[in-house]
Amino acid sequence: MYDTLLFFHVLAAFLLVAAVVMFSAYTLGAPTTRSGFTLASRLEDIGGVGVLVLGIWLALYVDGYSLGDGWIIAAIVLWLAAGASGNFYRQAMEPAMTAGGAVAQRAATLNWVRAALTVLLLADMIWKPGA
Amino acid sequence: MSALAIIRPDDWDLPLFIHVLGAFVTVGALILAATYLVPAWREGSVASLRLGYRTLLWAALPAFIVMRVGAQMIYDKWNFDEDPGWINLGYMTSDLGALLLLIATVVTGVGVRRATVPAEAGGTGEARGARVAAVLVGVLLVLYLVSIWAMTTKPD
């Protein structure tokens, strides 16, 4: 059961980071197609929900973990912040998607904030500060 | 339950972070490349082929190298008497993956060059190589799904 939960939790993380990579490419100037943007958005949605649900499930399942652990609380906070950045980013990208043209500065900033928060989330998962 | 995650020595954390970050970006770059290579294959778009090539060359390949360096760094910290099955599987998918990634990158690079060279110099104007590269990227994604399973479940 642990192996299954961990596998799908990590797989969800791969989907989430794949979305971050795709959005970052668009922010750096790669042509943004509606289909590519939609795919990245769906990957972010599925990956984001997956890491949270399965992460909480793991925290409840594993004897050595607790939802009150500092690193798990930090992970949830980082997830919320990254998710919020991602949602604002998608809204800010709508003008560029609809009318074409360059990515707005606000959208670019939101993307890099979301990317940094995602990297911090990964670092939290690896180092588990306070554990 | 795997005890490795809980009792892992602290000095393994940085190499593991590098390895996992490289793996995440590699898979992300391959998915992005696929979004360009599939239209290049279906529509014959040279522009899409060029984007797929650049994604493989500038994102997927460097990320793969980071992943592989991180893997070697953390492997060197383990003192296995005999490599467990999941390590051998990791080596197999990594080595095969490197070959397929290189082939896909070269094929798309050659395709872009041949498409953009003037016709009198032998240029085709077509997005050749897109199908081969798209299929290889698909195979790579399946290969890495197997790797993710092996790395997380760590079968003997």
Q: What is the pLDDT of residues A57-81, one digit of tens each?
A: 999 999 888 889 999 999 999 999 9
Taking the C-alpha atoms of residue B101 and residue B105, their distance in angstroms, rounded to an integer, is 6
Q: What integer pLDDT is reported at residue B2 of this predicted model?
A: 45
Burial class (CB in 10 A: 0-12, 13-18, 19+), B100: middle
Taking the C-alpha atoms of residue A104 and residue A94, their distance in angstroms, rounded to an integer, is 10
Å between B121 CA and nearest CA of chain A: 29
**pLDDT tens-digit readout, B18-57:** 999 999 999 999 999 999 999 999 998 899 999 999 999 9
The shortest CB-CB distance from A62 to any of B1, B31, B151 is to: B1
Give mean pLDDT, residues A30-52: 93
Q: What residues of B are in the A interface, CB distance below 8 Å?
A: 1-2, 6, 13, 16-17, 20-21, 23-25, 27-29, 31-32, 35, 39, 47, 51, 55, 59, 145, 148-149, 151-154
ipTM of the complex: 0.91
B29 with B70: CB under 8 angstroms?
no
**pLDDT tens-digit readout, A2-17:** 999 999 999 999 999 9
The shortest CB-CB distance from B32 to any of A7, A22, A64 is to: A22
Whether residue A30 and residue B32 make contact (CB cut-off 8 A), yes or no, is yes
Taking the C-alpha atoms of residue A127 and residue A71, their distance in angstroms, rounded to an integer, is 9
User: Is A19 an 8 Å CB contact of chain B?
Assistant: yes
Residue in B16, B35, B50, B142 to test binding to A, most A beta-carbons within 10 Å: B35
- Closest-CA residue of chain B to A129: B10
Q: Would you mind telling me the total number of residues written for chain A in this entry?
A: 131
Taking the C-alpha atoms of residue B31 and residue B27, their distance in angstroms, rounded to an integer, is 6
B42 with A33: CB under 8 angstroms?
no
Burial class (CB in 10 A: 0-12, 13-18, 19+), A55: buried
**pLDDT tens-digit readout, A78-128:** 999 999 999 999 999 888 777 766 778 889 999 999 999 999 999 999 999
Residue in B14, B32, B149 to test binding to A, most A beta-carbons within 10 Å: B32
Give mean pLDDT, residues B130-137: 94
Q: Residues of B with CB below 8 A from A123's CB?
A: 17
Q: What integer pLDDT is reported at residue A100 of this predicted model?
A: 67
Q: Residues of A with CB below 8 A from B25's CB?
A: 17, 21
Q: Which residues of A23-34 are buried (b: 16+ CB within 10 A; e: fewer)?
A: bbbbbeebebbe
B155 with B91: CB under 8 angstroms?
no
User: Is A34 an 8 Å CB contact of chain B?
Assistant: no
Give mean pLDDT, residues B114-131: 75
Task: Record the pTM.
Answer: 0.91
User: Is A31 an 8 Å CB contact of chain B?
Assistant: yes
Give mean pLDDT, residues B80-93: 86
Å between B9 CA and nearest CA of chain A: 10
In percent, the amount of chain B with pLDDT more than 70 equals: 90
What 3 state SS string does A11-75 have?
A: HHHHHHHHHHHHHHHHHCCCCCCHHHHHHHHHHHHHHHHHHHHHHHHHHHHCCCCCCCCHHHHHH
Taking the C-alpha atoms of residue B114 and residue B122, their distance in angstroms, rounded to an integer, is 7
- Dihedral angle sign, alpha carbons of residues B118, B122, B128, B133: negative
Give contacts of A 88-117 with B, CB under 8 A.
none
What is the CA angle B56-B61-B66, rounded to 5?
A: 145
Tokens in use for A106?
């606000």
